[in-house]
Amino acid sequence: MSYEYDLHLFEATGIELEYMIVDRETLSVRPIADELLRAVGGGYEIEVDHGATAWSNELALHVIETKTNGPVPSLDDSTNHFQADIRRINALLEEHDARLMPGGMHPWMDPDKELSIWPHENDIIYRTFDRIFDCRGHGWANLQSMHINLPFGNDDEFGRLHAAIRLILPLLPAIAASSPFADGEASGFFDTRMEVYRRNARRVPSVSGQIIPERVFTREAYERDLLGRIYDDLRELDPNGTLHHEWVNSRGAIARFDRGAIEIRVIDLQECPMADIAIAQLVIASVEALVAERFTSYGSQTEWGEENLAAIFKEAIRAGDETVVRDTNYLRMLGFPEPAANGQEVWQHLLEITGEPSEELETFMKVFLSEGCLARRIAKRVGKVSDGALRSVYAELCEGLENGRILES
């Protein structure tokens, strides 16, 4: 299959950041994203243009997304754009006695009782998801992430990019986990968001697979073997084909042939845009090093099955930065010279071999390497779990988001 897009590998990036809207005093979720968007756009459109960025909603009415307004050639100004969005949104939410909260999950939301689904434009899509999968669980109703969109220009570029991203995916929770609490208590996972996310489509298992995408490296194979299987499995439950689109695929990275990009979805939202963009910069640089075959050939990268990668991924979901990788062959794929390493050590290695870090990446990595991922820092600050301790720390996170401040334990 021959095709060509305008953008080629690493010529641009798209970033999406999802935030919770919460009550200014109680910090419980507030389902008013539609009113926020109406205040900016004048109607209940699902997305509004905001200059360098755009604001939108997807499914849960307490979630607002701010994203680059299309692909951008550089992330150099992205932190400033996103931070300005945070302050603007918070200013608009003041009249509702609400504000934004960062992090991968709300720590005490009851999704069975508190989920409100977007009721306006495109609502048939969300109602169909809800009818088939029951969106009241945490895996649909309570999860916020950063998405990174990376372009490919043709089939060869798609295959190389997909192979590289598959190898990086298992270690993303080690650097980005930010969701250690659910239902008002410690969950036992540092990346609870991904633990619930990977189970949310269990009624139709092919929708999310093992989160790590299968070994498909051409558009023809992807549409036939991966998307085709999903559509076949959904046909009886969705006879009108409402969900018969490539975005129904819930793997941790999905091909968007409609716009010539792969969208990475497994990165928990951090405490402020500076931290999100720092992680994005390091992830992109690491993927670029793999595509350039700095450590191993493209052919070798394509040989990794999803089962082995998923095993590393599940451990990273549980342990975050302290996850221990003992698969020597996997570490060799990343150019790591030792037979075993923890998550911090691997990401430090990737930082060192991918070039001169930006100031924001250097600032973020200093905290990450000394104090761990955000989930660990949040858990340490909370200490013994109680309503008061959770509210105190998450109120601090809200303030830190407003001021662009990294949380230190």
* Residue-wise pLDDT tens digits, 67-117: 999 999 999 999 999 999 999 999 999 999 999 999 999 999 999 999 999
Give the angle subtended at the CA of 400 by the CAs of 76 and 72, to the nearest 5°: 20
Say if CB 200 and CB 208 are below 8 A apart: yes
Distance CA 144, CA 43 (A): 24
Does residue 7 belong to any structural domain of this protein?
no
**Secondary structure (H, E, C), the chain:** CCCCCCCCCCCCEEEEEEEEEEECCCCCECCCHHHHHHHHHCCCCCEEEECCEEEECCCECCEEEEEECCCECCCCCHHHHHHHHHHHHHHHHHHHCEEEECCCCCCCCCHHHHCCECCCCCHHHHHHHHHHHCCCCHHHHCCCEEEEEEECCCHHHHHHHHHHHHHHHHHHHHHHCCECEECCEECCCCEHHHHHHCCCCCCCHHHCCECECCCCCCHHHHHHHHHHHHHHHHCCCCCCCCCCCHHHCCCCEEEECCCCEEEEEEEECCCCHHHHHHHHHHHHHHHHHHHCCCCCCHHHHCCCCHHHHHHHHHHHHHHHHHCEECCHHHHHHCCCCCCCEEHHHHHHHHHHHCCCCCHHHHHHHHHHHHHCCHHHHHHHHHCCCCHHHHHHHHHHHHHHHHHCCCCCC
Provide the β-strand partners of residue 100: 21
Does residue 6 belong to any structural domain of this protein?
no
Tell me the whole-structure pTM to 2 decimals. 0.97
CATH number at residue 256: 3.30.590.20
CB hemisphere CA count around 36 (13 angstroms): 36
| Start-to-end C-alpha separation, the chain | 52
Does residue 344 belong to any structural domain of this protein?
yes
Domain span at residue 361 reads 14-402
User: In the prediction, which pLDDT does 97 show?
Assistant: 98
User: In the prediction, which pLDDT does 122 show?
Assistant: 87
Q: What is the largest CA-CA distance in the chain?
A: 58
Is pLDDT at 383 greater than 90 in this prediction?
A: yes
Does residue 323 belong to any structural domain of this protein?
yes
Average pLDDT over residues 328-343: 97
Q: What is the pLDDT of residues 250-266, one digit of tens each?
A: 999 999 999 999 999 99
Mean pLDDT (the chain, rounded): 97
pLDDT band with cut points at 50, 70 and 90 for residue 2: confident
Average pLDDT over residues 139-156: 97
Does residue 157 belong to any structural domain of this protein?
yes
Number of folded domains that form the chain: 1
How is residue 116 written in tokens?
């409100």
Does residue 92 belong to any structural domain of this protein?
yes
Does residue 111 belong to any structural domain of this protein?
yes
Distance CA 168, CA 349 (A): 13
Q: What is the pLDDT of residues 150-179, one digit of tens each?
A: 999 999 999 999 999 999 999 999 999 999
Does residue 244 belong to any structural domain of this protein?
yes
Average pLDDT over residues 204-231: 98
Provide the β-strand partners of residue 19: 64
